[in-house]
Amino acid sequence: MRDYILRRLLMLIPILLGISVCVFTIMQLVPGNVVNGILGIEQTPELRAIWEKKLGLDQPPLIQYFRWMGNVLRGDFGESFRTGAQVFPEIISRFTITAELALLSCLTSLIIAIPLGIVSALKRNRPVDKVVRVAALMGVSMPSFASATLIILFLSKAFGYFTPVKYVSLIQNPGTNLEIMILPALILGTTMAGSVMRMTRSSILEVMRQDFIKAVRAKGAPERITIFRHALKNGCIPIITLVGMQMGGLLGGTVVIEQIFSIPGLGQYVLTGISQRDYPVVQGCVLFIAFIYVIINLFVDIIYTYVDPRIQYA
Amino acid sequence: MSKQAILRRALPGAGAALPRQSESAFILVWRDPLGRAGLCGVALIALMAICAPVIARYGVAEMHPKAKLTAPGLTFFFGSDNFGRDVFSRIVYGARVSLIVGIVSVGIAAGLGYLLGILAGFFEGKCESIIMMAMDIIFAFPSILLALFIVSALGPNIINTMIAIGIVNVPVFTRTVRASVKSVKSMDYIKNAISIGLTPRGVLLRHVTPNVLAPFTVQATLALSGAILTEASMSFLGLGIQPPQPSWGSMLSDARKYMEIAPWLVIFPALFIILTILSFNVLGDSLRDVLDPKLKL
């Protein structure tokens, strides 16, 4: 197992290098120059040259790339061209916000999806199954930004709700933080629940057909034990895979919801970086998100072995 | 005796439900109530997009300064926006934009994905490793983020939006085609075709491609809804379709400022986005059940 994890971590190196080259190349294609944005109409050729030298933009792209990568390997993601603040600490602080939102959304999704998926599978082709399947399809097809806008409209008309103007962190005030996070998490969670529900239903249906379930039932085990200890445990591998992929996707995918609810997460940081042509911010964030994404995939692979001991990595 | 006849004989009770080989996927989808609903939804959206100039009552940028933020009525079916533009006409033309972006971007993704998937699956070796490594790299980005990133580099407009969404979707097609090619490649008839001297091109076109088409078609239908959703999300963030071209996503985003006093500006674009994606998903699901029953959820 330790060898497998090590091998997987080693395999990350070419992927992350490829990602860094991709990110850097795309940023070089971005039209306009950050110096234009910083100096505005007051720029002179001299001032421009000073700023380009200061930001390292006077060097050829290859030198810029190696300089950036060298610093990244030492844990230095550079400074924001706009604010001058260190990028890495800012990424970490914003990542905690996005991770909190992603975890809450996943939790919401699992709470809704697993029981409904099981009920749907057990009551196959009955009215309750049909209702759950249509609800799941609605969930899959409901873009979070569209449902968020409609829900905000409804809540504001019915209860005078307004999206929070200022973000409060979990450490500052857990109660207020949850008040801010609960609605976006519910919206994202409901959207995610659709596909998890469908996957749970199909996995449970698949497992319930197998002989060992008949053997468990023949032994006289109660239905609750049959479902939760045997069927769900054996059918949860695809569900874990899906949730893992969704978690990874949420790290950058919450950008729209963060924008709607004014949550200062990683997505909003990237978006600001993109619109302001702030290379270090965008490069750092995208590289970080891709890294976390592949780590989540590795983590999911490791979880498999705990859920199903038959899975062994040589 | 044909395979169908043998099946009918073995399962007399289920004989009526067994699809005949001559039946097209269209008929099989039409028989499924959900599939029929999806097909009707997609047909309606397509009709709306094709006949936009006939259905729309006003031009997309036509302003009526005296009728700003008018509620839905006989003059403006879905009301008017803060510039006095007809929301109904913009929704109708927005369908055209959504469908064009969806079809072209999925076309780009499917074309590239097919080529790369065939190369990776059929030729294997280093070629496969390089292609799959590149796909893993693209896959490591959350799709919306990568699309935003590419479009910001190329500049936000409709062409670049389609290219960005296309690139983001390439890995899904490459993986689907590669997996199908690999499973088909080990079949005896492919080995026979190679042994009688058919060129790799001939094997690919005559034997492999027809066997890859079913999962490929299912993937394309499902990817269409994803592409439309990504376009709407990008436009919502201001990095997709640029004004005055109407996009449901940007209409929804612009409307948020006025939703307290003019809720119709939010309701109609949101409903059309949801209905379109729902229709494509329902159709994709039904098509998958018909063409690729192994993947049935």
pTM summary value:
0.84
pLDDT at B155: 82
Residue A52 lies in a domain: yes
Q: Which two tokens stand for residue A87?
A: 């990028």
My answer on whether A303 and A168 are in the same domain is yes
Q: Is A79 within the bounds of a domain?
A: no
Q: Please state the CATH superfamily assignment of the domain spanning residues B34-296 in this structure.
A: MetI-like (1.10.3720.10)
- Please state the ipTM of this predicted complex: 0.81
Whose CA is closest to B104, among B182, B26, B54, B161? Answer: B161
Q: Does A14 touch chain B (CB under 8 A)?
A: yes
Asked which of A45, A73, A101 is the last residue of a domain, the reply is: A73
* Whether residue A168 sits in one domain with residue A61: no
Sites in chain A below the pLDDT cut of 50: none
Instruction: Look at residue B97 in the predicted model and tell me its pLDDT.
Output: 94
Q: Please answer yes or no on whether B137 and A18 come within 8 Å at the CB atom.
A: yes
> Looking at the structure, do residues A54 and A136 belong to the same domain, yes or no?
no
Range of the domain at A160: 92-307
- The Cα of B277 is separated from the nearest Cα of chain A by a number of Å equal to 5
Q: Which residues of A touch B296 (CB under 8 A)?
A: 202
pLDDT tens track for B168-178: 999 999 988 89
Whole-number pLDDT of residue B34: 84
Query: Are A200 and A250 in the same domain?
Result: yes
Shared domain for A29 and A113, answered yes or no, is no
* Eight-class DSSP state of B246: -
Choose the final residue of a domain: A42, A73, A104. A73
In this structure, the answer to whether residues A66 and A107 fall within a common structural domain is no
What pLDDT was estimated at residue B244? Answer: 84
* For testing contact with chain A, the best of B32, B132, B141, B231 (most A CBs within 10 A): B141
The number of folded domains in chain A is: 2
CA distance A202 to B285: 13
**HEC profile of A188-247:** HHHHHHHHHHHHHHHHHHHHHCCHHHHHHHHCCCCHHHHHHHHHHHHHHHHHHHHHHHHH
Domain CATH for A267: 1.10.3720.10
Residue A312: what pLDDT? 67
**Residues of chain B with C-beta less than 8 angstroms from the C-beta of A271:** 148, 237
What pLDDT is recorded for position B17?
A: 42
Residues in chain B with pLDDT < 70? 1-23, 292-297
A124: in domain? yes
Whole-number Å distance between alpha carbons of B275 and B38: 10
